[in-house]
């Protein structure tokens, strides 16, 4: 991509920070959407709950990357927090899509976040972007989340949905919580350990987002997951190998349900998502294997 002006929501999150850093390193102008009156020259105010965007700040943007949303693993899933998970995604996406569509010269592309949770529990069955949505809370949220981008699509903006898996990184997400446990020798499988985890190294996540921005043929759903999903048991073994720590503990399913409540069903569910569209479009993973992804996170 030639030097461009790119707007990013969720720029303070794990993926957003890394993406902004990568784009700026290559000379792109990045504007960050923030939920307070804009102060710095690179800030644009927005409020997803009120579905407000300072549209003037998006004028001249060639692309928008929308990554904002409440953390799925940050709290117990009370009714109030389930509503926060849903609203932060659906209302936020609707606000961004409507703002993009309202511009006299809209950006060429909107890359909107989504998740492999779209597919629900697929067990051992591999799924690609053509698979239907699963059943349950998270698949339902993902369906609404993607549908909320319709105004941008109807305005002729190329719109892609980055269905991201579990990001392997020290700084946050599921792996950010796991690294300290495994370093202390307290890591172990969750439940049976047979559930598939569709992972992606943070480096590859950022590279894949940039690949979508640059690849005009990519629109609709795109799985951002490594090409070889692994089971939770295999993740546990890989963490033990790379960190040189025993991984002897196991968290039984009843205890997970007691501690996590409804969220346990999604921790224990299995998604074996394959990045078919990324691979077909010529994307190359730097860290396709779980051991390599873990080592990359430690670097």
Digit-coded pLDDT (tens) for 168-183: 999 887 788 788 888 8
Q: Give 9-27 pLDDT, tens digit per residue.
A: 999 999 999 999 999 999 9
SS3 157: coil
Q: Does domain 5-298 have CATH number 3.40.50.970?
A: no
- Across the chain, mean pLDDT equals 91
Q: Give 24-53 pLDDT, tens digit per residue.
A: 999 999 999 999 887 778 999 999 999 999
Predicted confidence at residue 39, as pLDDT, reads: 77
Taking the alpha carbons of 97, 99, 104, 110 in that order, is the dihedral positive or negative? Answer: negative
Report the C-alpha dihedral over residues 251, 181, 266, 280, rounded to 10 degrees: -130
The confidence band for 255, taking pLDDT boundaries of 50, 70 and 90, is: low
Backbone angles phi, psi at 181, to 5 degrees: -65, -45
pLDDT at 253 exceeding the cut of 60? yes
Q: Which helix (H) or strand (E) holds 110?
A: strand 109-115
For residues 252-275, average pLDDT: 69
* Residue 177 exposed, middle or buried by CB count within 10 Å (0-12, 13-18, 19+): exposed
Q: Give 236-250 pLDDT, tens digit per residue.
A: 999 999 999 887 777
Backbone angles phi, psi at 158, to 5 degrees: -60, 120
Predicted confidence at residue 210, as pLDDT, reads: 98
Contacts of 286 (CB under 8 A, 6+ apart): 201, 203, 204, 207, 296
Q: Give 187-236 pLDDT, tens digit per residue.
A: 778 888 899 999 999 999 999 999 999 999 999 999 999 999 999 999 99
């Amino acid at each position: 991509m030639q030097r461009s002006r790119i707007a990013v929501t969720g720029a303070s999150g794990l993926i957003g920070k890394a993406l902004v850093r990568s784009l700026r390193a290559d000379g792109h102008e990045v504007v960050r959407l923030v939920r307070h009156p804009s102060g710095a020259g690179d800030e644009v105010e927005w409020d997803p709950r009120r579905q407000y965007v300072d549209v003037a700040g998006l004028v001249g943007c060639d692309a928008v990357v929308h990554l904002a949303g409440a953390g799925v693993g940050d709290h117990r899933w009370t009714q109030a927090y389930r509503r926060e998970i849903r609203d932060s995604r659906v209302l936020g996406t609707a606000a961004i899509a409507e703002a993009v569509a309202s511009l006299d010269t809209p950006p060429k592309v909107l890359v909107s976040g989504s998740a492999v949770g779209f597919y629900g529990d697929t067990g051992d069955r591999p799924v690609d972007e053509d698979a239907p949505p699963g059943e349950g809370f998270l698949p339902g949220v993902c369906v609404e989340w993607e549908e909320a981008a319709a105004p941008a699509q109807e305005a002729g903006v190329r719109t892609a949905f980055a269905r991201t898996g579990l990001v392997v990184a020290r700084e946050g997400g599921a792996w950010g919580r796991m690294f300290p446990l495994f370093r202390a020798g307290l890591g172990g499988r969750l439940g049976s350990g047979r559930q598939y985890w569709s992972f992606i190294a943070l480096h590859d996540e950022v590279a894949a987002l940039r690949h979508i921005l640059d690849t005009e043929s990519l629109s609709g759903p795109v799985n951002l997951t490594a090409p070889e999903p692994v089971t939770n048991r295999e993740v546990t073994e890989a963490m033990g190998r790379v960190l040189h720590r025993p991984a002897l503990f196991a968290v039984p399913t009843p205890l997970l349900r007691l501690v996590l409540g409804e969220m346990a069903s999604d921790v224990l569910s299995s998604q074996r998502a394959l990045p078919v569209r990324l691979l077909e479009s010529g994307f190359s993973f730097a860290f396709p294997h779980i051991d390599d992804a873990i080592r990359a996170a430690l670097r």
